[in-house]
Amino acid sequence: MYRLRRMEISADMLYKAKQIRGFCHLYDGQEAVVVGMEAALEQSDSVITSYRDHAHFVGRGGTVLEVFAELMGRVEGASKGKGGSMHMYRRQANFFGGQGIVGAQVPLGAGLALAHQFRGDGGVAVTMYGDGAAQQGQIFESFNMAALWDLPCIFVCENNHYGMGTAEWRAAKSPAFYTRGGDTMPGMSCDGMDVLAVKQAFAFAKQYVLEKGPLILEMDTYRYHGHSMSDPGSTYRTRDEISGIRAKRDPIERVRQLLAANGLAESSELKAIEREVKGEIDGAIDDAKAARLPADEELWTNIWRAPLGATMRGIESSHKQRLPS
C-alpha cells in the first residue's frame, strides 16, 4: 500500500511539473481495496476497472516503471505509451484495463464472467466502478443479465463518496449501493479502508459467485485528491473532512498501528521499508524520463484492422497519404 501511495503522490507532482499531460486520476486513500482484493484472488481471475487504474495495474503484477512510462507517453509504458492514465492494460494477468468511458467497463466485466463460465475454468470476473458511475443505466442492464445467467461476477462499487465535484447525496437518492441488485442479486458493504476486511470480503465473494451467481460488493473508501487533476477536490468538501479521514481511517496508518500493537514489526523496520520504496519510486521516475518516445508511425498502428484481408474505402488511401515520407 505504501508503494501505491508514493507512486500516486509522485504522479501528482509530475503532473504539476508538466511531465505528465492529459487526464490523470489518482488513487491515494483507496489502496486497501486493491491490496486486499489481490490477496484473495488469483491472476487467473479477471479484473476490469474505470479510469482510476494505476494501482490496479500494479496489483496485477505490473511495475511502477511501466506506470510512470505510460503516464509520460513512453514506449516502455503499460500500453506502449499510447493509452495514458486511463488505459493501463495487462492481458497476461487478466487485467483488462482502465476504461475511459464512465461505467462502460461494467458490461465488459459481465462478459468476462460469461467467458469464465463458458470455459468452466473456475475463475471469476471482478468489475469495478465508482459511486458516480453507479447511476449508469448500462450497469443495471449488466446486473440483470448476470443474475439471469448466474454469472461468476463480483460487481464492486468503490464508493469514495464523491464524483466529479459532486457528493454522493447529490447524485444518488439512496447511497446504499450494495442494495442496487434489488431482489435479483445480493450485496455486501465492506470497510474499504481496512485491508484485512477487504481480503475477507473478496474471499467470501469469490466463493459465493462461483456457487450461486453474481454479487454486489460495496467498498466504503475515500480519495484524498480531487476526482482528476482538473478538480482541486476542496470546493465541495472541507479540508477538515479530508484531514479527519487521514487521522482516523487511513489504510496504511491502520496497518502500521496493527503491526506495532501485535509486536509484528519494529518502527525501524517500517521506516526501512519506506526508504526502500522511496528509492524504488525515484528510480522508476528517472528511468521513465529516459525512456523512448513512440515513433511517429505508431500514430497509425492498432487503430483499425481490415477484415479477412479486405480494404476499407476511404481509409487505406488516407492512411498511406498521411504517413511520414
Q: Which residue has the higher pLDDT, 30 or 175?
A: 30
**Which cell numbers hold the place of 206?**
469469490
What pLDDT, on a 0 to 100 scale, did the predictor assign at position 105? 97
Q: Which residue has the higher pLDDT, 135 or 307?
A: 135
d(CA 178, CA 182): 9
CA distance to 25, 99, 235, per residue, from 53 (Å): 8, 8, 24
In this predicted structure, the answer to whether residue 317 has a pLDDT above a threshold of 80 is no
In this predicted structure, the answer to whether residue 233 has a pLDDT above a threshold of 90 is no
**Which cell numbers hold the place of 176?**
446504499
The residue-averaged pLDDT of 288-315 equals 78
Q: Which of 60-69, 87-96, 106-115, 235-244 is least confident?
A: 235-244
What is the pLDDT of the chain when averaged over all its residues? Answer: 92
In this predicted structure, the answer to whether residue 323 has a pLDDT above a threshold of 60 is no
What pLDDT, on a 0 to 100 scale, did the predictor assign at position 169? 86
d(CA 52, CA 159): 13
- For a pLDDT cut of 90, what percent of the chain falls above it? 82
In this predicted structure, the answer to whether residue 226 has a pLDDT above a threshold of 50 is yes
Residues ≥6 apart with Cβ < 8 Å to 51: 23, 25, 85, 86, 87, 98, 99, 100
Residue keyed to cell 481511517: 249
- Residues 165-222: pLDDT tens digits? 888 888 888 889 999 999 999 999 999 999 999 999 999 999 999 999 999 999 999 9
What pLDDT, on a 0 to 100 scale, did the predictor assign at position 305? 67
Residue 80 domain boundaries: 2-322
- This prediction has a pTM of 0.91
Across 206-240, b (16+ Cβ under 10 Å) vs e yields: bebbeeebbbbbbbbbbbbbbbbbebebeebeeee
The residue-averaged pLDDT of 83-111 equals 96
In this predicted structure, the answer to whether residue 310 has a pLDDT above a threshold of 70 is no
Number of domains within the chain: 1
**CATH code where residue 42 lies:** 3.40.50.970
**Which cell numbers hold the place of 151?**
454469472
- Residues 31-74: pLDDT tens digits? 999 999 999 999 999 999 999 999 999 999 999 999 999 999 99
CA distance to 8, 19, 75, 138, 257, per residue, from 72 (Å): 14, 6, 9, 32, 36
